Amino acid sequence: MTKRKAETHIFKVIFTSQGQVYEIYAAHVAPAEMFGFIEVEQILFGERSHIIVDSSEERLKTEFAGVKRVFIPMHAIVRIDEVEKQGSSRVMASEGGTSVIKAFPVPAPPHGKDSSH
């Protein structure tokens, strides 16, 4: 019997928050139990050399220090990709202070004919 290597996933999650665009990597991404949110767990940061320090990734390490899970509103998600290799996490200011990324419209839950609840 051969052992199968545990399959690992790496997801690149790009989202907007407070006029900035975040690009982070995580091992687990799923719809959250809270309606309208995406749950991101096990945020990954690269093990970089102490000689070269990526200030953007260091800022994110500080911002997400001690965070087990982050819940991101669906309308803030720009893109989620499953990737082969982890890149460097970063945060970027939107160009000109106004975002060229627009929120995706989220439909309201349908109201049924039976409105007794």
Domain count of the fold of the chain: 1
User: Is the residue at 51 inside a domain?
Assistant: yes
Mark 12-44 as b/e (b = at least 16 C-beta within 10 Å): bbbbbeeeebbbbbbeebeebeeeebbbbeebe
Residues 25-38 pLDDT 10s: 999 999 999 999 99
Residues 53-80 pLDDT 10s: 567 778 888 888 888 999 999 999 999 9
The CATH number of whichever domain residue 26 belongs to comes to: 2.30.30
Domain containing residue 58: 10-86
Residues 13-25 pLDDT 10s: 999 998 899 999 9
- List of residues 6+ apart from 59 with CB closer than 8 A: 91
User: Is the residue at 53 inside a domain?
Assistant: yes
